[in-house]
Amino acid sequence: MKPLVVVGGPIHPDAMAVLEAEARVAEIAEATEEQMVAVARDAEGILFIIRPDCNRSLMTACPRLKVVGRHGVGLDTVDLKAATDLGIAVVHAPGSNSDSVAEHALMMILVCAKQALDVDRTTRKAEWRSTRPQPNMELRGKTLGIVGIGNIGRRMARLGAALGMRVIAHDKYVADAEVRARGAEPRVDLYSLLREADVITCHTPHTPETHHMIDGRAVAQMKDGVIFVNTSRGKTQEERALFEGLTRGKIRAAGIDVFEEEPVNADNPLLNLPNVLTSAHVAGVTRESMRGMGVQVAEEMVRVLRGERPHVLANADLWPRLSHLK
């Protein structure tokens, strides 16, 4: 009998076809942990979309589990240590939405620099004016500061350079020579980047180390009139500090795709600021990325179920223990 794979929400039809060729597939809408376990108790694979989190108690309740897939790039909702302890392979789809996120971040930067929201709003009211209280910003010759120069960050470096910007980056896990190879001047610490950048864009995972890295102290280090964009993870920013920076003029404008609590509450004060462009954690959600992401992670899951080593294994040290699957 084919193994059972549970999918925690809709995926691209091409990705579903990959799974159905090798497994019995059960789809469950965004669920609680208890609801997921009820369906996946005998599953050998679970593909997590949004909720629930892939935690130790859930995986322990599914004793036949061999592989969990994350329909995305980040692994902040997966207890990697627990999966490794339990002998469960973890696969995901790094790089699958990098172009989509980089394009979205660039869009946010341009909207903020050109005050596009205000221009659109006043034009629709027939308030025709060629000047504004704060002039638009030309990006050529300005400094773009990239926090995290991985798959997305390196694309941002190319986009910034294409606009004639000077590009700097901070990423403590990438050697200086490699940062340069990716198109940016390295900065040894976050604060040195914040002090130089006219535009800051964040592309870093959420970890204990990056939690609230953009806090009040960080905002104080920024240039006056900076543009801040975050399309990475909401908990890397302290929203109260951003709000104060935006209302006091320290931060000229911000593009926020991610929030500390998601879905964002309607009473979040950032939503009421005219100099903030928001989106609902959709920077990486395009037709192209959804197909690529789904197919990539589905193929990785199938490799594990076949007893083959996946191309991208988040807990790589685990593989020798899984050789019995072959």
Q: What digits encode the pLDDT tens for the residues 44-80?
A: 999 999 889 999 999 999 999 999 999 999 898 999 9
pLDDT digits (tens, 9 = 90+) for 206-228: 999 999 999 999 999 999 999 99
pLDDT of 282 > 80? The answer is yes
- Residue 128: band (very low, low, confident or very high) from pLDDT cuts 50, 70, 90: confident
Would you state the pLDDT for residue 218?
98
Question: What pLDDT is recorded for position 317?
Answer: 86
Whether 113 and 137 have beta carbons less than 8 Å apart is answered as yes
Gyration radius from the chain CA atoms? 22
Q: Set out the domains of the chain in order of their start, with CATH numbers.
A: 4-94+287-325 (3.40.50.720), 98-278 (3.40.50.720)
Note the pLDDT of residue 132: 76
Report pLDDT digits (tens) over 72-88. Answer: 998 989 999 999 999 99
Give residue 213's pLDDT.
Answer: 98
Catalytic residues: 233, 262, 281
At 323 the pLDDT is 55
Q: Please, what is the average pLDDT of the chain?
A: 95
Joined together, the tokens standing for residue 115 give 């005050």
Q: What is the per-residue DSSP string for 98-160?
A: HHHHHHHHHHHHHHHHTTHHHHHHHHHTT---S--SSPPPP-TTPEEEEE--SHHHHHHHHHH
Q: Which pTM value belongs to this model?
A: 0.90
Which one-letter amino acid corresponds to residue 280? A
What does the pLDDT read at residue 30? Answer: 78
Tell me how far apart the alpha carbons of residues 214 and 61 are, in angstroms, rounded to a whole number: 37
Rounded to whole angstroms, the Cα distance separating 162 from 140 reads 9
3 state DSSP class of 313: coil
Q: Percent of the chain scored above 70 by pLDDT?
A: 98
Reduce the DSSP state of residue 309 to 3 states and report it: coil
